[in-house]
């Protein structure tokens, strides 16, 4: 069932891409496995899907311990500086950089591991008070600070759009993200450009793709509803 769900989302993704003149292969699905089991993940892994998004460091470490070593884990949840050390040796990408102090910590821990860690800047593009992320008007200058850190590789930006009844209401939020990326690239040198836009979840990934998303983070529509204790 999980694999069928994944294939279903993949089909929709490729259709929308084609309709808006993009290539389906330029948009990646990141299955979000938070609150789901190692067995659930294996159902996709056995079909060759090797990237997963997790929100909580402890849960990520527990799953990593029992799952194949070649899984590429991406941290999409809010990250506390004191937990960076635990994921720095292996994390494939951190989507949620939202402060310079967190960036400094990642830079320092990456250096200790002899790595350059790929990151995205989380932008609170919908301006919600309850959400983490840098404000949209600060995003470009924040990016110019992040790229100074030698052991971080800035790949682009991430956002979680506000919950809305009709996903088209988030069109401007997603379009703003695309513009932030364009504006950032216009200030960067030719040998350092950003190209990743992590945006779109179960309820709004279609609109996100139309507005330029390159990574959609889909949990519920692949793994089913999450149960929180
Ligand atoms: C949980 C989560 C998702 C997936 O949300 P769904 O609505 O279940 O697809 C995506 N991104 C982030 C940051 C999340 O926390």
CA distance 27 to 7: 14
The closest of 121, 133, 125, 94 to 207, measured between CA atoms, is: 125
Ligand 1 centroid from CA 37, angstroms: 16
Closest-lying ligand 1 atom to the alpha carbon of residue 218: 9
4-26 residue pLDDT tens: 999 999 999 999 999 999 999 99
The closest of 31, 95, 63 to 226, measured between CA atoms, is: 31
Which of 31, 208, 219 to mutate for ligand 1's pocket (most ligand atoms within 8 Å of CB)?
219
127-158 residue pLDDT tens: 888 889 999 999 999 999 999 999 999 999 99
Closest-lying ligand 1 atom to the alpha carbon of residue 34: 1
pLDDT at 189: 94
Q: Is the CB of 217 under 6 A from ligand 1?
A: yes
Q: Is the CB of 200 under 6 A from ligand 1?
A: no
pLDDT at 130: 83
Q: Is the CB of 32 under 6 A from ligand 1?
A: yes
Torsion of CA 64, 91, 138, 136, to 10 degrees: -50
Ligand 1 centroid from CA 33, angstroms: 9
Task: State percent of the chain over pLDDT 70.
Answer: 100
Q: Count of H helices and E strands in the chain?
A: 9, 8
Residues forming a β-bridge with 93: 74
CA distance 41 to 17: 26
Ligand 1 centroid from CA 219, angstroms: 6
Ligand 1 centroid from CA 31, angstroms: 9
DSSP state of 171: H
Residues forming a β-bridge with 215: 28, 198
Q: Is the CB of 99 under 6 A from ligand 1?
A: no
């Amino acid at each position: 069932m999980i694999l069928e769900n994944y294939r279903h989302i993949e089909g929709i993704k490729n259709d929308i891409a084609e309709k808006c003149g993009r290539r389906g292969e330029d948009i990646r699905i990141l299955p979000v496995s938070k609150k789901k089991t190692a067995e659930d993940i294996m159902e996709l892994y056995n079909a060759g899907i090797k990237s997963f998004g997790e929100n909580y460091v402890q849960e990520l470490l527990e799953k990593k311990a029992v799952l194949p070593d070649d899984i590429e884990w991406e941290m999409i949840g809010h990250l506390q500086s004191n937990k960076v050390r635990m994921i720095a040796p292996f994390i494939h990408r951190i989507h949620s950089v939202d402060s310079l102090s967190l960036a400094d910590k990642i830079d320092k821990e990456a250096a200790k591991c002899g790595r350059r860690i790929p990151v995205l800047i989380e932008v609170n593009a919908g301006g919600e008070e309850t959400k983490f992320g840098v404000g949209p008007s600060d995003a470009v200058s924040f990016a110019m600070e992040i790229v100074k850190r030698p052991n971080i590789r800035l790949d682009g930006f991430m956002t979680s759009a506000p919950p809305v009844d009709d996903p088209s209401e988030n069109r401007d939020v997603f379009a703003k993200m695309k513009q932030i990326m364009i504006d950032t690239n216009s200030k960067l040198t030719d040998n350092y450009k950003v190209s990743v836009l992590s945006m779109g979840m179960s309820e709004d990934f279609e609109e996100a793709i139309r507005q330029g998303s390159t990574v959609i983070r889909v949990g519920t529509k692949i793994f089913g509803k999450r149960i929180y204790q």
